[in-house]
């Protein structure tokens, strides 16, 4: 459901999730179909803007500025880390993360409690993003597809995660807000130890 149609008492999406309805799930299907298509080369200005946005987002995560990172997300955002590569069927499958705005706010709060043993010490990460492509859909949403390598060091153990991101961005004045961030890990359905880092 578009946020503009959400009843007044549910407008605060950090505490309510009225907008996550059948239509919300249908949108995910539509986004995923678009991500599977071949796209024409983007205009250089659009490409530059998309790359800049991803780079800034990556730096906020890598520097542990999770409140600032959370501010990048729209009220009807989804931070999605599927278990089934490519997404599977979220209506009947679980995901590593299927965070609406409320649960994503929870996640950031959780990371910052200082009480999560799985993040004591906190993960140090540094990521590289490349192969950026971008296109606008018919509703003016900007889709960005990229590949990532996330290096993590925590409690003396170094790990590497590889995969591709699918970002759907909403125009917000001169800037953009994240409507969906999909994180497709190469080994999403495999054995993982302590998957509490932010992708």
Partner 1 sequence: MPWPQGYADFDKTDFGLTKVSRVSSYRGFIFGTMNVDAQPLEEWLGYARPWLDYWIDRSPDGEVIVRSAAFRMGYRGNWKLAYDNAGDGYHPSFSHRSLLEMASRMGESKDMTYFGKTPDDGPMLAYSLGNGHSVIDQRAAHGDAPGNFWANQRPQPGRERFEEQIRAEHGEDAERLLDLAIGAQINLSIFPNLLIIGNQIQVIEPLGVDRTQLTWHATQIGGVPVTVNTLRMRTQEDFPAFGEPDDQANFEEIQRGLAAPEAEWIFMNRGLEVSGWQSSDEDGVTETAVTDELHMRSYYDEWQRRMNEEAR
- Footprint of partner 1 on this chain (CB under 8 A)? 1, 10, 15-21, 24-25, 82-84, 88, 90-100, 102-103, 105-107, 109-110, 113, 115-118, 120, 189-196
- 140-157 burial string, b = 16+ CB within 10 Å, else e? ebbbbbbbbebebebeee
Nearer to partner 1 by Cβ, of 4 and 191: the residue is: 191
Overall size of the chain counted in residues: 199
Nearer to partner 1 by Cβ, of 103 and 126: the residue is: 103
Nearer to partner 1 by Cβ, of 47 and 85: the residue is: 85
Nearer to partner 1 by Cβ, of 1 and 49: the residue is: 1
User: How far, in Å, CA of 119 to CA of 123, rounded?
Assistant: 6
Q: Could you tell me the smallest distance in angstroms from the CB atom of residue 193 to partner 1?
A: 5
Return the residue matching tokens 């359905």.
189
Q: Could you tell me the smallest distance in angstroms from the CB atom of residue 56 to partner 1?
A: 25
How far, CA to CA in Å, does 152 sit from each of 88, 122, 159, 179, 197? Answer: 26, 10, 5, 26, 8
Q: Could you tell me the smallest distance in angstroms from the CB atom of residue 78 to partner 1?
A: 8
Nearer to partner 1 by Cβ, of 94 and 128: the residue is: 94
Per the rule left: phi > 0, alpha: psi between -120 and 50, beta: everything else, 131 is left
Q: Could you tell me the smallest distance in angstroms from the CB atom of residue 53 to partner 1?
A: 24
Q: Could you tell me the smallest distance in angstroms from the CB atom of residue 117 to partner 1?
A: 4
Which among 92, 98, 61 is positioned nearest to 79, based on CA atoms? 98
User: How far, in Å, CA of 184 to CA of 166, rounded?
Assistant: 8
């Amino acid at each position: 459901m578009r946020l503009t149609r959400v009843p007044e008492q549910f407008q605060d999406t950090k505490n309510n999730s009225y907008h996550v309805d059948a239509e919300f799930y249908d949108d995910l299907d539509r986004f995923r179909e678009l991500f599977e298509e071949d796209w024409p080369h983007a205009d250089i200005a659009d490409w530059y803007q998309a790359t800049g946005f991803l780079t800034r987002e990556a730096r906020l995560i890598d520097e542990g500025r999770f409140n600032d990172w959370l501010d990048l997300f729209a009220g009807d955002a989804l931070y999605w880390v599927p278990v089934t590569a490519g997404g599977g069927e979220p209506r009947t499958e679980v995901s590593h993360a299927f965070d609406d705005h409320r649960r994503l706010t929870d996640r950031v709060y959780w990371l910052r409690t200082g009480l999560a043993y799985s993040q004591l010490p906190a993960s140090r990460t540094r990521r590289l993003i490349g192969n950026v492509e971008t296109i606008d859909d018919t509703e003016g949403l900007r889709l960005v597809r990229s590949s990532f390598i996330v290096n993590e060091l925590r409690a003396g153990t170094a790990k590497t995660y590889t995969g591709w991101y699918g970002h759907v961005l909403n125009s917000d004045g001169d800037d953009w807000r994240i409507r969906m961030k999909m994180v497709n890990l190469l080994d999403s359905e495999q054995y993982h130890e302590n998957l509490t880092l932010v992708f």
